[in-house]
Amino acid sequence: MSQPTAPIIHIQSLAKSYFRETLEIPVLQGLDLDIPAGGFYALMGPSGSGKTTLLNLIAGIDRPTGGLLEVCGSNLNQLNDDELASWRNENIGFIFQNYNLIPVLNAFENIELPLLLTSLTRAQRKEKVEEVLSLVNLMDRRENYPRQLSGGQEQRVAIARAIVGNPKVLVADEPTGALDAKNADEILEMMQRLNEEFGKTILIVTHDPKAANCARHQVHLEKGILDKTVEVNR
Amino acid sequence: MKFLHLVWKSLMRSKRRTFLILCTLILSVFLITILQSLLATLDAVSNKPTEGNRFVVRHKSGLTQFLPISYGEYLRQQPEVLAVANSQWFGGYYQDPKNFFANFANDETTMFQVFSDRISGLTEAEIKEYQRDRKGCIVGQILADKYGWKVGDTIPLTGTIFPMSPQLTIRGIFKGRMASEENTLYFHYKLLEEGVQFMKGKTGAFWIKTKTSDDIPRVANRIDTHFANSPVETMSEAENAFYLTFVKMLGNIGAIIHGVTIAVLIAITIVTVGTMSMAIKERTTEIAVLRAMGFSRARVLFLLMAEGLLLVTLGGALGIGLASLVAKILREILGSALIFLQDFRLANETILLCMGMALIIGFISTIIPALAATRRSIVEGLRAL
Ligand SMILES: Nc1ncnc2c1ncn2[C@@H]1O[C@H](COP(=O)(O)OP(=O)(O)OP(=O)(O)O)[C@@H](O)[C@H]1O
Ligand SMILES: [Mg+2]
């Protein structure tokens, strides 16, 4: 697959600090990063280096203290909270380490959640949910509740939920961190497929070198500063 | 509407907790509804209009003693007096002691003047027919409906106070202003006199109608003075003297009922606030996940509020339903013993008041934790585990 030119994620001198009372704790400092549409990037680095923070900023669930943040054609700094919420609904799919499914909803209903915010009819929602259910191979588990699913199955439901609204970008914070090797492989394979077949731009945070090797680029963060970006030879 | 399913499932997250809080809500709403309705019913009964210009003359030493009918002569002579009707509580039942209702032997002519406010809907012909037939009777609409009686039916009345069980023919079915007034049967006073040896020339009470209510204290006093120091002394009471003492007592009952209502409200608010904050707090991560996928703050707030309001609406509706069921039972079972309970109903205002209170409780107890939950940043929410 040839690499598209215009970056879907464009970051310039991005800074993020936390404030404890008057004390400023800088986490990210003057970060520059461009990720092209269709890219598969793994974000690596020691614990506390700011990986989750960067991912949250890109996904629009956190606000930077400074710098430019352009994702999917929107300057996130210029969106208010409500605009940012519907922007996320349209553009970002989230995959978490702990799956974070809603325990009182079954697989189908969990996947349907992001679609409730759209103007789709019930029948259209059903069609889309079933489409992604079969994509993650869980058609027979549609009525099951999260507690009736294995970790790997839960994460597949979470992936289905992340892609059901057809977002351009998927963000995943240690998506395999809670899984055994076999299930982790399955999830990584699925993400590769989403990247290659469906052209999703994927950004994952991981400690696991094997997971990082599934990506096509690895970005290293060190104390809030981008260390280096390397291309992965697969 | 598509979010209702989500709201319902969230409410049923912990079935046991929801069940317990629902039971608490139902019981509280039930208690408040019943107490407030009781107050409203007592209020209505004690504020009956047009009873002002009627009073009763009875034996000074109580209701079980009788007055000579000849006293009526003097009573009728008083210039303020419009009509006098002798009246005796008969205390009979129909077929079975369970079928107990108010029944009186009353003067068959003057009673229509004295009790014109309580008895209506009879034609001239029906009244004439009743007055002509010594064994005739008139019954209230509710009573007639209850036993399926029609004009012309003969009904046996078994005496419990008097050794007499008359067979009475219904000559008319009248309407009253309230259920308790329609749950009544009247028959000829003379039938009682003829049937019971010791009642000959005697009566339990004289009901007297005056021109105005202002006349009552004067004429009552005159009557009691006139018969003072005679072998049979009288005691005159305004009809609403009973109600007046009642109203005074009601002041206290009212204060108690309002006090209990407020105490229950405070208790249920505390319990609901606790339950809702717990229910919302344990969902911190979930709320963050919903917001990450694009649910706005307002949307999440709306969902949480809907959940709280759904809970109290259920509790309120079931509580009021239970109360109206109990009101019906009270009316039917205890109504024969406590006459005023026949008018025991849940007023619309009471229902609205109780439902309103339930909704307000639901609103306050949800808005506080819900606002706190939606104000929290998504990142913070995702971190909380
Ligand atoms: N809300 C906060 N207040 C203050 N400091 C914070 C807050 N959130 C994160 N930090 C700090 O920011 C730094 C980066 O945190 P972040 O979670 O991004 O690290 P990370 O690279 O994802 O680490 P890990 O690999 O352990 O997940 C850490 O030093 C952390 O303590
Ligand atoms: Mg992290």
Look up residue B293 and give its DSSP letter: T
Whether the ipTM is more than 0.90: the answer is yes
How far is A108 from A119, CA to CA, in rounded Å?
18
* pLDDT tens string B178-205: 888 888 999 999 999 999 999 999 999 9
* pLDDT tens string B118-132: 899 999 999 999 999
Q: What is the pLDDT of residue B240?
A: 60
* Interface residue B4 vs chain A (CB under 8 A): no
Q: What is the pLDDT of residue B250?
A: 62
Q: What is the pLDDT of residue A20?
A: 87
Bridge partner list, B88? B105
Q: What is the pLDDT of residue B53?
A: 80
Task: Give domain limits for chain B.
Answer: 4-46+251-383, 66-231
C-alpha R_g of chain A: 18
Q: What is the dihedral of CA A111, A114, A119, A120, to 10 degrees?
A: -20
| Chain B residues with CB-CB distance to A28 below 8 A | none
Q: Is A48 in the pocket of ligand 1 (CB under 6 A)?
A: yes
Q: What is the band of B337 on the pLDDT scale with cuts at 50, 70, 90? A: low
- Which of B7, B285, B289 is best to mutate for the A interface (most A CBs within 10 A)? B289
Choice among A64-68, B145-149, B156-160, B213-217 with the minimum mean pLDDT: B213-217
Global pTM exceeds 0.90: no
Name the residue among B154, B149, B143, B150 with its Cα closest to residue B99. B143
Neighbours of B270 (CB within 10 A): 12
* pLDDT tens string B18-42: 999 999 999 999 999 999 888 887 7
* pLDDT one digit per residue (tens) for chain A, 234 residues: 444 567 999 999 999 999 888 899 999 998 999 999 999 999 999 999 999 999 999 999 999 999 999 999 999 999 999 999 999 999 999 999 999 999 999 999 999 999 999 999 999 999 999 999 999 999 999 999 999 999 999 999 999 999 999 999 999 999 998 899 999 999 999 999 999 999 999 999 999 888 899 999 999 998 777 877 788 776
B195 close to B54: Cβ distance less than 8 angstroms: no
Look up residue B101 and give its DSSP letter: -
Question: Which residue has 């209020």 as its token pair?
Answer: B43
The residue to mutate among A25, A31, A97, having the most atoms of ligand 1 within 8 angstroms of its beta carbon, is: A25
Taking residues B285-310, report their average pLDDT: 96
Q: What is the pLDDT of residue A130?
A: 97
**pLDDT at residue B335 above 70?**
no
What spatial distance separates the first Cα and last Cα of chain A, rounded to whole Å? 13
Name the residue among B270, B295, B279 with its Cα closest to residue B378. B295
What is the number of CB-based contacts under 8 A between chain A and chain B? 68
Amino acid at B48: K
**pLDDT at residue B242 above 60?**
no
Q: What is the pLDDT of residue B191?
A: 95
**pLDDT at residue B17 above 70?**
yes
* pLDDT tens string A13-54: 999 999 888 899 999 998 999 999 999 999 999 999 999 999
* Interface residue B18 vs chain A (CB under 8 A): no
Element (H, E) at B307: helix B297-329
Which residues 6+ apart lie within 8 Å of B28 measured at CB? B264, B265, B267, B268, B315, B319
Q: Which of B9, B291, B299 sits opposite A105 (nearest CB)?
A: B9
How far is B120 from B100, CA to CA, in rounded Å?
23
Q: What is the band of B244 on the pLDDT scale with cuts at 50, 70, 90? A: low
For the record, the structure tokens of B225 come out as: 């003075």
* Interface residue B9 vs chain A (CB under 8 A): yes
Cα angle for residues A184, A188, A191 (degrees, 5° grid): 145
**pLDDT at residue B246 above 60?**
no
Q: Do B286 and A88 touch (CB under 8 A)?
A: no
